[in-house]
Structures are given as C-alpha cells and as structure tokens.
Amino acid sequence: MTILGEMLIGSRAVKGSNGPIHAINPATNETLEPVFAGGTEADVDSAVELAWDAFASYRETAPEARATFLETCADEILALGDELIERAVAESGLPRARIEGERGRTMGQLRLFASVVRAGNYLDARIDPAMPDREPMPRADLRMRMIPLGPVAVFGASNFPLAFSVAGGDTASALAAGCPVVVKAHSAHPGTSELVGRALQKAVAKCNLHEGVFSLIFGAGNVVGQALVAHPRIKAVGFTGSRSGGTALMNIAANRPEPIPVYAEMSSINPVFLMPQALKARGEAIAKGFIGSLQMGAGQFCTNPGLVFAQEGEDLDNFLKVAAEELSQAGTQTMLTPGIHKAYCSGMEQLKGNSRVTEVATGQDSDQPNQCQAGLFVTTAEDFLADESLSAEVFGSTSLVVKCKSVDDFARVADQMEGQLTATLQLDDGDHDATRKLLPVLEYRAGRILCNGYPTGVEVCHAMVHGGPYPATSDSRTTSVGSLAIQRYVRPVCYQDLPQELMPESLKDGNPQGIRRLVDGQDQR
C-alpha cells in the first residue's frame, strides 16, 4: 500500500480539489510527499449520503458480524506494517516506540469494543412483561433497547495520530454502536490518515459491509468540518482538540434546525495536589515522577499535569529544588506541528512576562526545529485566583506550582477552577483527613481522580473516564476513552406490544443473544 494523497469516499479514492495540504516533518521542517488536497462541500455531502445509505444495513448487523468487523479493522491496521509506523513518526515527530505503542492501543480499543458489542450490556435491554389482569388498567408488554444515533462525524486529533484519529476511540465506539463514520482527517498527519483509512476501507469490503460505513475527507480550513457538523444526516460529532475548535463545533451543532450532540474533549490543566504528609515523606520521588510525567510526549497530552498545588514551606522548597534540577537536565523534544510549537512558545512567553509568576527552571534549549523547552513556574494562591490567564492551558511541557498558605486553601482554590479531565493527589495515610474534605470538590470538577500516580497515561478499560465538566469536555455525562464511550452514540427506543416475529433479537422471548436484560427490574441472562 502506498500513500497517494487521496480521500476515501466509500469504496472510492478521490483527489481533493481544495489544496494544497502539505504534511511537514516537524523534526526537520521538511515537506513530505505526496501533496494532499481538501474536499468540498459536495465531497462531504457524498460521504454523508453514503453513510446514511449504509446506516440502514449497518445498524442491523448482528453482534458477531459487527465485532468481527472491528477486529478486522485492527488486523488491517497491523497489516499496514512499517510503512504506517514510519509515516506516523515522520508526520508527528513522536518517537517510534511511542507510535508502536499507540498502534497497539488503537488495535486494543477496536478489540475492546468488539467485546463490548458481543457482551451486549450497552444495549441496556429491558423488559416489563404484560400484566393483562392488572387493576385498574392492564399493563402492556414493554421492551427497551438502545439503537444507534445515525452517521457520526469524527475529527482526528493532532496529538494521537493513531489512537485518537482515523480509527481511534471516537471512530471505534461509533462503529461499535452501529453508526457509520465520516472522518475529517487532521491536516498534520494526512499520510497516516490515508493509510489507516485504506485499512478501514479494506475491512469494510472484506466484511461485505455497505461501502458508506466509513469515509475519510481532508480539509485544511473550516469548510469541511463545518459542512460535516451542519449536514442534516449527521447525528453526532466526536472531536478532540482545542477549546476554540470544540466550542465552534458546539455552536454549529446547537444552531442546526435539528441540534445534535457534540462530544468535544478540549481543554484541561489537570491539577496535582501535593498533600503535606506525602510531600514531607516523599518529596524527592514525587518531584522526579512529576517531571517525568510533565516531559512525557513533550507534554502534548490532554492530561498533562499543568498545575500543582502545595503548601508553602521547607517541604515544597525541597520539592521545587529537585524538580528544577530534573527539569534543567531535560533535553528538548520535537513538538507535533510548527503551529503547536509556536503556540507553546507564546504561552511560555506570557508566563515569563507575567509579574505574578516566577520561573523555577526551564529545560535545555536546542536549535533544532519545533523543540519543546520545558518550563516550571511558581505563583501564589491569591495570584492564581486573581489572574484568569493562569488557568489557561499551555499545550506542552510546562507547569505552574501554586503555593498555598495551608492545605485548607486547596479546596478553596479548586472550587474556583473550571472543569478538568483529571485531578491528582499525592497522599500518604496521614493525609486522609485533609483529602476527605478535598475529594467532593475534585469529584465535582474532574472526570478522573487519581492517587500517587500521574495523570498522563490513560488506561483503555471499562472503568475509565476520560471526560469531565466543561471546558474539559462539552458533555460531562460521557467519556471518550474506555468502553462507556459507546453510550455517546446510542439512544433508547421502547417497543410496546410488538409481535415476537417483528421483535429485535436482543429483546425476543428466550433471550437468543444471551445478553443481560432487566426483566421487571431484575437482572436476567
């Protein structure tokens, strides 16, 4: 398979006409071949109408067929071999080991959702049997299941060119739910996108599905994205990216004649709370772990620990000393795109120029292109509360330590914070009482609370929540990572006195699919 610079509309491969879009190797600033070009509104319309046509049959696929399709997608991605790895490394500047790991995660996500489809819990099947003799009124036979929403638009993310892009978590969960997907590729990795797109296109054909189950469109500006979200046949949107990008899509979706849900994962600074006993007992180890987390992937994670709360005093001074030493020894890393690098430098400049903020340390410098020079800064609780700009995400390896007078300040300051994906606690047994007061505030502000670890590294499993109150996401009721993500793309339908012959398999008498069902309020299988 080679990269031809083509969009994929159903089973066709199509050259875009809105160009050029050049992939750039951020490690060298060299332009990568071939040249790509974006789609038009007509291309979007073709892809979405195909998706709509495909919806009729795809939503009716049996669980085993849909699960096999998801697994075939994973197999076809693996079959792309080294070409995928090399291209993704070249387009992202990320190390080979990271990209290989991310491919594994991408395949793992597809397989997890295959298991979710087979298990059938996500259907939330419910049966309230008829009670013909009930007084004063008989009860009808009532059954409920979840059905897919319809075609879904997915926006590839820059920072996970595999795991949150063309075949990433949004696509996998939408396909698992029974929704055809139209992906808008991220222009930072069009070649990676085309390769993965061709793998999915192949899986669609191998599994004899309608070609419209998957399409891939390029677009450099906003035309393609806006047309996708505004298209009347699109019924939900998955997005990972900036706050401005996400809120723009939310506005388009809310102002459609038929508003639709947008699942945008946007902005988070992921506070870390250094509880006093832990800081005293393990300050040095915590500092080293923290700098490791901060440096990971040049800080280009939604869960990068961008904020640290600690009580002022000797223990914090020691922590900062170790952290500064670690950071100043840290080499630079290539950032994903020149644009992200530029925004990072601008954010760093703003922090350096802010009179409420003191620089603790910076990482080593480099004269290579698009290098992330890590930064650690310190401020006080009062200054943090007084200056909104200090709560803004700086996407990259930078973090701000907020000195508090006492541990009681943690909850007071946290209560003023915007919604977050994560909140981290470094705590020892002696910190439990103080933590107990803080926990409700953190639950209310974050989607995931973690102890004695670091927020980077998001496990793909059943209990994961990669979500949180606005602006961390557009919809705190959901997650974009883990098996619960499938719930974003379904809605309930109730069947009253439907004849068995017409009943969906999942609700038939005798439970032919062997799934969990709530019968008269009790679990049955």
Return the exposure string of 94-111: e unless at least 16 CB atoms fall within 10 Å of the residue's CB, then b. beeeebbebbebbbebbb
* Binding test (CB under 8 A) with its own copies, winner from 140, 207, 343, 385: 140
Based on its alpha-carbon atoms, the radius of gyration of the chain, rounded to whole angstroms, reads 25
83 catalytic residue (yes or no): no
State the amino acid at position 162 in one-letter form.
Answer: L
3-state class (DSSP) for residue 293? helix
> Which residue stretch of 88-96, 147-155, 213-221, 402-410 sits at the interface with its own copies (rule: CB under 8 A)?
147-155
Tell me whether residue 324 or residue 458 sits nearer to its own copies (CB atom). 458
Which one from 265, 326, 393, 418 is the annotated catalytic residue?
265
Phi, psi of 240 (to 5 degrees): -130, 125
Tell me whether residue 310 or residue 490 sits nearer to its own copies (CB atom). 490
Tell me whether residue 1 or residue 450 sits nearer to its own copies (CB atom). 450
Asked if residue 43 binds its own copies (CB under 8 A), the reply is: no
Q: Which residues contact 58 (CB under 8 A, 6 or more apart)?
A: 178, 179, 180, 209, 210, 213
Cβ of residue 196: shortest distance to its own copies, in angstroms? 23
- CA nearest to 417, candidates 384, 439, 448: 384
Tell me whether residue 167 or residue 515 sits nearer to its own copies (CB atom). 515
Contact (CB, 8 A) for 309 and 415? no
Tell me whether residue 36 or residue 58 sits nearer to its own copies (CB atom). 58
- CA nearest to 189, candidates 336, 29, 376, 338: 336
Q: How far apart are CA 29 and CA 371, in angstroms?
A: 11
Q: How far apart are CA 516 and CA 422, in angstroms?
A: 32
Task: For the segment 108-127, give every residue that binds its own copies (CB under 8 A).
Answer: 115, 119, 121, 124, 126-127
CA–CA distance from 361 to each of 60, 134, 397 (Å)? 58, 74, 12
In the structure encoding, which two tokens stand for residue 47, read together?
A: 């892809």
Which one from 73, 179, 302, 372 is the annotated catalytic residue?
302
Cβ of residue 71: shortest distance to its own copies, in angstroms? 16
Q: Which residues contact 234 (CB under 8 A, 6 or more apart)?
A: 48, 150, 151, 152, 153, 182, 228, 260
Q: How far apart are CA 176 and CA 154, in angstroms?
A: 14
Q: How far apart are CA 208 and CA 202, in angstroms?
A: 10
Asked if residue 419 binds its own copies (CB under 8 A), the reply is: yes
Cβ of residue 346: shortest distance to its own copies, in angstroms? 24
Asked if residue 394 binds its own copies (CB under 8 A), the reply is: no
Cβ of residue 57: shortest distance to its own copies, in angstroms? 10
Cβ of residue 226: shortest distance to its own copies, in angstroms? 17
CA–CA distance from 145 to each of 120, 125, 336, 487, 504 (Å)? 10, 5, 42, 12, 9
State the amino acid at position 216 in one-letter form.
Answer: L
Cβ of residue 220: shortest distance to its own copies, in angstroms? 28
Cβ of residue 488: shortest distance to its own copies, in angstroms? 8
Contact (CB, 8 A) for 168 and 196? no
Size of site (CB under 8 A) for its own copies: 82
Cβ of residue 420: shortest distance to its own copies, in angstroms? 11
Cβ of residue 480: shortest distance to its own copies, in angstroms? 12
Q: Which residues contact 92 (CB under 8 A, 6 or more apart)?
A: 26, 99, 161, 188, 189, 192, 336
In the structure encoding, which two tokens stand for residue 153, read together?
A: 């638009």
In the structure encoding, which two tokens stand for residue 182, read together?
A: 């139209």
* Binding test (CB under 8 A) with its own copies, winner from 82, 133, 135, 523: 523
Q: How far apart are CA 28 and CA 32, in angstroms?
A: 10
| Contact characters 150-179, its own copies, x per CB under 8 A | x-----------------------------
In the structure encoding, which two tokens stand for residue 231, read together?
A: 């298209």
| Contact characters 448-467, its own copies, x per CB under 8 A | xxxxxx---x-x-xxxxx-x
Query: Residue for token digits 């395949």?
Result: 107
Q: How far apart are CA 476 and CA 495, in angstroms?
A: 29
Asked if residue 147 binds its own copies (CB under 8 A), the reply is: yes
Task: For the segment 431-450, give every residue that binds its own copies (CB under 8 A).
Answer: 432, 435-436, 439-440, 443-444, 446-450
Cβ of residue 235: shortest distance to its own copies, in angstroms? 9
Q: How far is CA 491 from the centre of its chain?
A: 21
Tell me whether residue 308 or residue 446 sits nearer to its own copies (CB atom). 446
| Contact characters 473-502, its own copies, x per CB under 8 A | -xxxxxx---xx-----xxxxxxxxxx-xx
* Binding test (CB under 8 A) with its own copies, winner from 132, 353, 510, 521: 521
Percent helix, strand, coil in the chain, to 5, is: 45, 20, 35
Tell me whether residue 312 or residue 428 sits nearer to its own copies (CB atom). 428
349 catalytic residue (yes or no): no
Task: For the segment 236-295, give every residue that binds its own copies (CB under 8 A).
Answer: 250-251, 254, 258-259, 261
Contact (CB, 8 A) for 524 and 511? yes
Tell me whether residue 3 or residue 278 sits nearer to its own copies (CB atom). 278
Tell me whether residue 31 or residue 524 sits nearer to its own copies (CB atom). 524
Asked if residue 469 binds its own copies (CB under 8 A), the reply is: yes
Asked if residue 65 binds its own copies (CB under 8 A), the reply is: no
Tell me whether residue 133 or residue 367 sits nearer to its own copies (CB atom). 133
Asked if residue 392 binds its own copies (CB under 8 A), the reply is: no
Task: For the segment 72-111, give every residue that binds its own copies (CB under 8 A).
Answer: 101
Any idea which residues carry the catalytic annotation? Answer: 265, 302
